[in-house]
Amino acid sequence: MKTAFYIARRYLISKKSVNVINIISGVSVAGVTVGTFALVVILSVFNGLDTTIKSLFSSFDPDIKISASIGKSFDLNDGNFDTIRQLPEVASVTPVIEEDALLRYGERQYFATVKGVPVEYSQTSGLDSSFITVGKFILEADQIPFAVVGQGVAYFLSVGLNFSDPIHIYTLKKGTRGRPSLQTAFIHSSIYASGIFSNQQEIDSKYILVPFEFAGELFQMNGRVTAVEIALKEGISDKDAKAEIEKVLGKDFTVKTQFEQHELFYRVMETEKWAIFLILGFVLVIASFNILGSLSMLIIDKKADIAILQSMGANQKLIRTIFLFEGWMISLAGAIFGLIFGVLICWIQIEFGILKIPGNEGAFIFSSYPVEIRVTDLLAVFLLVSGIGFLAAWYPIRFISGKFLNGSVK
């Protein structure tokens, strides 16, 4: 094995009698390098986007969300929530009310989700004053309710904190019968905005936060809630906590982790990432065809050397191993160079943010493309390139060598 590796290394770096073989070998290394580099960079960008979006969701969505298995709302007395508060994994338990309503501000109207939360919500959730772009995160002051409006909702309604107009909220009155009218079919309430928050476009254009009691009266909840949000202590597994909570509540409630609350979105992100991985892997397969051509020509070029090795007692296995190592080293050289260049470019982007997102400054949550390097991805790329390189080298050694050497190597 050492002999085969030594001879293959000499063949790789030595000058060939036909210069085109050196050129093809260089092209082979360059092709594998570019393919590996592209894989590392694109996967790292996907990782960065995935982590950034998950962090935005996590600042608004709870670690665990409990809702009724049947119906839209439930009474807190129906579940053993006092026991849940005592669980060692649980940091806080927050009842919330979420209902859709029609909002009107001035002459503009917009459908949004009104979310009623406790006034100390900024302390128990990840959504705090750091997400406020205009105004302050205030839900109640001097027993007067205020609303914190999503940036997208504020945009569609043209809500401005410098204006003195309140936001009017309309919702259907429960139990209405007969011919509906504006006076009998709708409940109307109004509230002033104290701040505008910016988190993630899907959330910003959907939610308006109001005090829990205000939402309860508006939607005629009569002490019922639509969900209970649970924040876990740091370092606690949400899957383990979910299992414990399900044991306490039973089958009447649905318990979802943060991932399960946006399961489809997360799975689409993951599918896109690995689809790109497979597509670029196929590009690497095409690039590796250069290795096949390079080895085929090298076998012909080294025909005299092979005859000398055979006369010295080298068997067919040794000769084939020499050229197998030769092709594999071409692939590994490209893989190593590609990994180095890819990690270097990603590090530069992480540190300096050179590649900016096109558009106006401040229009996006991040101004430059987020990048995150993961060791598992680097390992997957290296194994993929190594596997493709092995197959690209194995084929000409197994089938082509005997044909070109007229039976000298079978």
- Which pLDDT band holds residue 16 (cuts at 50, 70, 90)? low
List Cβ neighbours of 337 (8 Å cut-off, separation of 6 or more). Answer: 29, 33, 36, 37
Report the share of the chain in percent with pLDDT over 90: 39
- Which pair of structure tokens corresponds to residue 8? 């293959």
Query: For the chain, first and last CA: distance in Å?
Result: 19
Mean pLDDT of 258-282: 86
Indicate if the pLDDT at residue 25 is higher than 70: yes
DSSP per residue, 282-333: HHHHHHTHHHHHHHHHHHHHTHHHHHHHHHTT--HHHHHHHHHHHHHHHHHH
Integer Cα distance of 353 and 389 in angstroms: 34
Candidate from 126-135, 192-201, 244-253 with smallest mean pLDDT: 126-135
Please choose, from the candidates 316, 199, 260, the residue with its C-alpha nearest in 3D space to the C-alpha of residue 64. 260
Indicate if the pLDDT at residue 404 is higher than 50: no
Comparing 362 with 173, which gets the higher pLDDT? 173
Indicate if the pLDDT at residue 357 is higher than 90: no
- Which pLDDT band holds residue 178 (cuts at 50, 70, 90)? low
- Which pair of structure tokens corresponds to residue 39? 């894989």
- Which pLDDT band holds residue 360 (cuts at 50, 70, 90)? very low
Integer Cα distance of 307 and 317 in angstroms: 14
Integer Cα distance of 224 and 213 in angstroms: 11
DSSP per residue, 97-122: EEEEEEEEETTEEEEEEEEEE-TTHH
Half-sphere exposure of 167 (CA within 13 A, CB side): 32
Comparing 266 with 140, which gets the higher pLDDT? 140
Could you read off the pLDDT of 305-328 as tens digits, one per residue? 777 777 777 777 777 787 788 778
Indicate if the pLDDT at residue 366 is higher than 50: yes
Contact (Cβ atoms closer than 8 angstroms) between residue 397 and residue 339: no
Indicate if the pLDDT at residue 403 is higher than 60: no
- Which pLDDT band holds residue 99 (cuts at 50, 70, 90)? very high
